[in-house]
Homo-oligomer: A and B are copies of this chain.
Amino acid sequence: MRLTAVLFAVLLPTAVSAQESAPAAEDAAVLRRIYDAALVDSPMYGQLRELVEKHPGRLSGSKNLEGAVLWAKAELEKLGCDRIELQAVQVPHWERGAKESAVVRSASGRTASLAVLALGNSAATPPGGRVAEVVEVKSLDELRQLGRERVAGKIVFFNRPMDRRHISNAPAYVGAVDQRTRGPALASELGAAAALVRSMTFADDDVPHTGNTTFPAGVAPIPAAALGVSSAQTLANLIQTPGATVELKIHARTLADALSHNVIGEIRGAEAPEKVILVGGHLDSWDVAPGAHDDGAGCVQALEVLRVLRAAGHRPRHTIRVVLFTNEENGIRGATEYARVVGEKNEVHLLALESDSGGFAPHGFNLGNAAGDAHLRAERWLPLLKPYGIHFFQAGTGGVDVAPLMRFGYTVAGPTQDAPRYFDYHHTAIDTLDKVQPRELQLGAAAMAALVYLVDRHGP
């Protein structure tokens, strides 16, 4: 691409035209100042670097997570919050232990090491490993139909890819992740020795993606791990001939619940401080993950919303509250406790906005409320937001941590990024700082600040 014949206007989107009403002109001027503050000299990328490089692997129960809690508190102090709170939460404490391994041996004696990563809540194998035959299935239904007789003592291998025909990330993920979240428990109920799950990604590589799996009360946890995509393909090939086995070693353990904290900081509203606009992310990450996109990005964007609103000269009418949740990845205990306290104190929330789909540039927002019309009402702001690349509001939820607030009738939201790249990195060791592009991160924070401003000014 080069210059010639590029006819784009070089003018910046600005505020005031003669036809605009005075409030619209004021809104446009504030939005311009918000974007200026976010795009020029933002500290956010440096904050993200600190978070992911000093406190990587922020899994619940880890020292790194509590280190991140103190880091976040210090950042809120620098922002001059009116109130800062560490909200205590008891969180699950699962540890991977020594590096896991899996080796497949075909009927003909050919062996291959598989890229493998234990899932959260996985049980351990015996220390020397567990050797068993493998049964491949594409769905939980298929596993059920096989029945105990053909599953007991085997390693169940869930190998249904995400459906490439989906346009958005979320339905592709939701449409496959039952294999990871509920597959190992079903395998356990049928007497399986262990479970292996193809990673939730479209990437054509061999990076295993961990994530949580759940064993309901009464179902014995079994060893369970994710496989990289090419390892899944290798395994599928080598078990074509009956008699192949996998030797799996997992050293995980589940400890007693640990103390963690939601980190809360707020600027008190000037007119109706009892009404809250929440902007959040989650501090925890998987143990192997630096957690740059998931969800270091959301955390620094939440902090940045406070900073840019102030830099833009906006004095909030309502209380603007940053909440950096703990334990999103394997328990949602932080969100549960936060919602419990909101209910107990009857704290009205005008909006609860969470960025938890990566530090990419959003092109719209999801908005959800009980009436199902929050996104339709927000469309009145599109003329103000389109010059900034925000083109739609759609019905949907915000992040997982704000979803529980919907039961009080509050409106939740999240930026709609839908970057296909997100699932290349999600829950992996390669979710590193270099995968986050500074301006994409900044455009996300600016859009969030713009929405917070508009709700503060005009209501949701």
Binding site for B on A (CB under 8 A): 1-13, 35-36, 39-40, 163-168, 170-171, 173-175, 177, 181, 202, 204, 211-212, 294-295, 328-329, 332, 356-357, 361, 363-364, 368, 386-389, 391-392, 396-397, 399-400, 403-404, 418-422, 424, 426, 437-440, 443
Chain B residue with the shortest CB-CB distance to A45: B204
Q: A8-B168, A167-B387, A420-B438 are in contact. List 20 more A-B contacts (CB 8 A).
A: A1-B295, A1-B400, A1-B422, A1-B426, A3-B181, A6-B173, A8-B171, A8-B174, A8-B397, A10-B171, A11-B171, A12-B166, A36-B165, A40-B164, A40-B165, A167-B389, A204-B438, A361-B420, A421-B437, A421-B440
Q: Which residues of B contact A397 (CB under 8 A)?
A: 5-8
Whether A212 lies near B294 (C-beta < 8 A) is no
Instruction: Tell me whether A2 and B400 are in contact in the complex, defined as CB-CB below 8 angstroms, given that A167-B13, A389-B168, A420-B361 are known contacts.
Output: yes
A289 to chain B, nearest CB (A): 12
Q: Which residues of B contact A368 (CB under 8 A)?
A: 7
Give bound CA distance, A388 to B177, whole Å. 22
Whether A211 lies near B2 (C-beta < 8 A) is yes
Whether B3 lies near A177 (C-beta < 8 A) is yes
Q: Which residues of B contact A12 (CB under 8 A)?
A: 163, 165-166, 171
Whether A35 lies near B426 (C-beta < 8 A) is no
Whether B2 lies near A403 (C-beta < 8 A) is no
Q: Which residues of B contact A204 (CB under 8 A)?
A: 438
Instruction: Tell me whether A400 and B5 are in contact in the complex, defined as CB-CB below 8 angstroms, given that A35-B167, A202-B438 are known contacts.
Output: yes
Q: Which residues of B contact A426 (CB under 8 A)?
A: 1
A275 to chain B, nearest CB (A): 24
Give bound CA distance, A181 to B332, whole Å. 55
Q: List 24 A-B contacts (CB under 8 A).
A: A1-B357, A2-B328, A3-B174, A4-B332, A4-B400, A5-B404, A6-B170, A6-B400, A7-B368, A7-B396, A8-B168, A8-B171, A8-B396, A9-B171, A10-B175, A12-B163, A12-B165, A40-B164, A164-B439, A167-B389, A167-B443, A204-B438, A361-B419, A421-B440
Whether B420 lies near A440 (C-beta < 8 A) is yes
Chain B residue with the shortest CB-CB distance to A32: B165
Which interface residue of A2, A163, A438 has the most chain B CB atoms within 10 A?
A2
A349 to chain B, nearest CB (A): 16
Whether B2 lies near A329 (C-beta < 8 A) is yes
Q: Which residues of B contact A424 (CB under 8 A)?
A: 437
Give bound CA distance, A165 to B41, whole Å. 10
A290 to chain B, nearest CB (A): 16
Chain B residue with the shortest CB-CB distance to A330: B2
Chain B residue with the shortest CB-CB distance to A172: B10
Q: Which residues of B contact A364 (CB under 8 A)?
A: 391
Q: Which residues of B contact A392 (CB under 8 A)?
A: 386, 391
Q: Which residues of B contact A403 (CB under 8 A)?
A: 4-5, 7
Q: Which residues of B contact A171 (CB under 8 A)?
A: 8-12
A297 to chain B, nearest CB (A): 11
Give bound CA distance, A3 to B426, whole Å. 13
Q: Which residues of B contact A168 (CB under 8 A)?
A: 8, 389
Give bound CA distance, A356 to B163, whole Å. 29
Nearest first, the 7 closest Cβ-Cβ pairs linking A and B are A5-B403, A420-B439, A8-B170, A391-B391, A10-B175, A10-B171, A39-B164
Q: Which residues of B contact A165 (CB under 8 A)?
A: 12, 35-36, 39-40
Chain B residue with the shortest CB-CB distance to A363: B363
